[in-house]
Amino acid sequence: MKKLLLIVAVIMVIMSFGFMAYAADWPQFQNNQYNSGIISEAPPTTTPSSASVHLEHGGFFGIDSTPIFVTPPSSTTGFVYVFPFQHIYECYRNGSNLTINASENVDIGGFQLCTPASDGSSIFLGVNTHFNQTKNKDFTTSLADWTTGSNAGSPEFSQATESGKTCAKIYENDVVDGDGYLEQTVRVPLASNVRLAFSFLQKYTGSAPAQHDVKVMVKREGTSTWNTIYTTSSAIYNDWVPVNENISNTYFPYSNQNYTVRFVFDYQPASSSTATCCFTDCQIIAQSMGLKKVTGLGTGTLDVDNNFCNLKESGQANTPLKYYQNATGSYLLLGNYTSSTGAKYFCINAANGTKKWEYTNGAPSGYYWAGAAVVNDAAIFGDEDGKVHVVMLEPDNNGNAVEVDQDSTTPGIQPYDINTSSSAHIRTTINYYDVPGTNEDKLYVVDYDGYLYQLNYNSSTHIITSGGAGVRASGVNYSTSSPVRIDDKVFYGAGGLSVSRISGGNLQTPVSIGTGIGKVQSSPVVYKADDYNYYIYVTENSSSGKAYCVHYYYDTATYDWKSKTIWTFTSGDFTLQGFAAANGDLYFGNDSGYLYALY
């Protein structure tokens, strides 16, 4: 790597000091901004002991993202942080017990594939559904907050308590048709989708009403058109009916405007009857991809800022979050995956959640597990088209992302194409390797077809050139495992576990190592005991959900490199993600929602 000026080096050391204090932490995917995957303190090299705790799961919504490990500034105890699908958990190992120290609802649902990241005092979550709610804010149940009215009849309105819930109540006792309503004006924030949620309760005396419709209507500020976004004539009485509905884009242009929301009880009486309808828990929920910030680490109470960063984008946050610091501040990188064009990569200010820049590459659906490496002043990441992008950390004067052109012979700004004869996805994170004493460093990437590539990267010009053809082990045709280079060896998962040795500057054909290892989708953790002994840790994504330690060693009797599986641990369910490694422990989870510590 090009030698940096001393002043820059000093700045970087000062800014990264928070992590230096606890070098054993594992604060983000594959440990650091280079995605090294290397641990300096030995995890178990003999059959481990284990501890576990059940967190949460729902179907296959278990633990799908890799845990991280952080020692908060005010604590001497390190904690493992796990983000399954609805809560963030803070856990720690105390002897043979793995204990939940704190947890907090993140107000979302669905599987989460974005590995969190930490700045040492906060946890950042990239979420697939970001709720920006109006509940208990400007859309409450107090009758004083509502405007009341009627299109027919003479309904009465009150605040009441029905079946244990405080609610706004419409009472109809006219012999003519009743059409009472409650309405409020709310501001719907920018979002990719809007949902309506509320509960209603109907009651009557005497004969059952001939009509008892519940409707919800909206009108955008400055317009006169009312649109019905929900209606039901369900004959359910004396019980609360919950509603949670997606609302058509036709009714909300998602443009941060005010809307009047009207809840209507449309009632046609039978003879000698009265009817009531109560409304509560009324919410307009703006949804999009975004980030949440968790504070209170180590205090026993986690505080989630649900509105830290609303990216106002559809799709899923499917890449690991990558945290970095430089002279201008601290930032987070992530990309989204969509079912159409227009996916983006984002740089977010970690201090306040504002967007520093966004980058659109025009790939069919963007970024899936394609995390970034941060190298000096650039972010490097792959995409679904098999391209590698180098985007400068600082935008241009207009705030636009700046990509480095990798092909000056082709018009436009071109990324680097790892294989022009194939469009295999890159569903792995770039691994950066610093070659001492030279500007030309190395990047390692694995494509979806299981090919491992070595790329030359000039850290001064930011230009990528080929480091040779892609290589893969025999029988391999699939990989989502990010590679790890250590010395002259590159380890990665492809089918089982593979290693490619580097000879004469070139990758050699990978060989499978270890025995009995099934489908590895996780990224390896590597511990080097000495120049002749390496220990590699991976998980297996199968119904048995296994974890492995493989010893890769130089046999001085045969003068050859060999391997053997040292231990196997079975978790009992699918294990998509890999380990957080810290203080000699390994942490991972499975689809059943169990978190394990191996020590």
| Amino acid code (one letter) for 27 | P
One domain, residues 189 and 224: yes
Confidence class for position 2, pLDDT limits 50, 70, 90? very low
In whole angstroms, give the CA distance from residue 599 to residue 591.
21
CA angle 71, 77, 83 (to 5 degrees): 55
Whether the predicted pLDDT of 551 surpasses 50: yes
One domain, residues 531 and 382: yes
Whether the predicted pLDDT of 81 surpasses 90: yes
In whole angstroms, give the CA distance from residue 593 to residue 598.
16
pLDDT for 11 equals 38
Instruction: Quote the number of domains for the chain.
Output: 2
Residue 277 lies in a domain: yes
One domain, residues 430 and 488: yes
Domain boundary (235, 264, 286) is at 286
Cα–Cα nearest to 220, from 190, 179, 246, 256: 256
Q: Are 507 and 489 in contact (CB under 8 A)?
A: no
Average pLDDT of the chain, as a whole number: 87
Cα–Cα nearest to 382, from 372, 374, 394: 372
One domain, residues 498 and 585: yes
pLDDT for 363 equals 67
Residue 422 lies in a domain: yes
Residue 453: give its domain's CATH number.
2.130.10.10
Residue 499 lies in a domain: yes
One domain, residues 372 and 442: yes
One domain, residues 218 and 94: no
Residue-wise pLDDT tens digits, 168-206: 899 887 655 668 899 988 877 666 677 788 889 988 888
One domain, residues 74 and 165: no
Q: What 3-state DSSP class applies to 10?
A: helix
Residue 245: give its domain's CATH number.
2.60.120.260
Confidence class for position 80, pLDDT limits 50, 70, 90? very high
pLDDT for 21 equals 37
Q: Are 161 and 115 in contact (CB under 8 A)?
A: no
Least confident residue range of 286-290, 415-419, 431-435: 286-290
One domain, residues 399 and 509: yes
pLDDT for 135 equals 40
Q: Are 517 and 497 in contact (CB under 8 A)?
A: yes
Residue 154 lies in a domain: yes
Residue-wise pLDDT tens digits, 132-159: 444 433 455 678 778 999 887 788 999 8
Query: HSE on the CB side for 98, CA within 13 Å?
Result: 24
Query: HSE on the CB side for 402, CA within 13 Å?
Result: 11
Cα–Cα nearest to 599, from 580, 577, 579, 583: 583
Q: Summarize the confidence of residues 569-581 as an average pLDDT.
A: 95
Q: What 3-state DSSP class applies to 17?
A: helix
Handedness of CA 588, 594, 598, 599 (dihedral sign): positive
Whether the predicted pLDDT of 268 surpasses 70: yes
Residue 137 lies in a domain: no
One domain, residues 84 and 148: no
Whether the predicted pLDDT of 4 surpasses 50: no
Measured CA distances, 455 to 46, 61, 433, 506 (Å): 36, 36, 10, 10
Tell me which of 115 and 342 has the higher pLDDT. Answer: 115
Q: Summarize the confidence of residues 567-583 as an average pLDDT.
A: 96
One domain, residues 322 and 463: yes
347-358 core/surface letters (b: 16 or more CB in 10 A; e: else): bbebeebeebbb
Residue 373 lies in a domain: yes
Domain boundary (251, 286, 321) is at 286
Measured CA distances, 578 to 65, 96, 419, 523, 543 (Å): 8, 21, 27, 6, 15
Domain that holds residue 184: 143-286
Residue 402 lies in a domain: yes
Whether the predicted pLDDT of 365 surpasses 90: no
Residue-wise pLDDT tens digits, 13-50: 333 333 433 558 999 999 999 999 999 999 999 999 99
Residue-wise pLDDT tens digits, 320-335: 999 999 999 999 999 9
Q: Are 55 and 102 in contact (CB under 8 A)?
A: no
One domain, residues 268 and 340: no
Tell me which of 474 and 427 has the higher pLDDT. Answer: 427
Neighbouring CB atoms inside 10 A of 272's CB total 10
| 468 CB-near residues (< 8 Å, 6+ apart) | 454, 506, 507
Domain boundary (229, 264, 286) is at 286
| Amino acid code (one letter) for 564 | K
One domain, residues 579 and 438: yes
CA angle 343, 344, 350 (to 5 degrees): 145
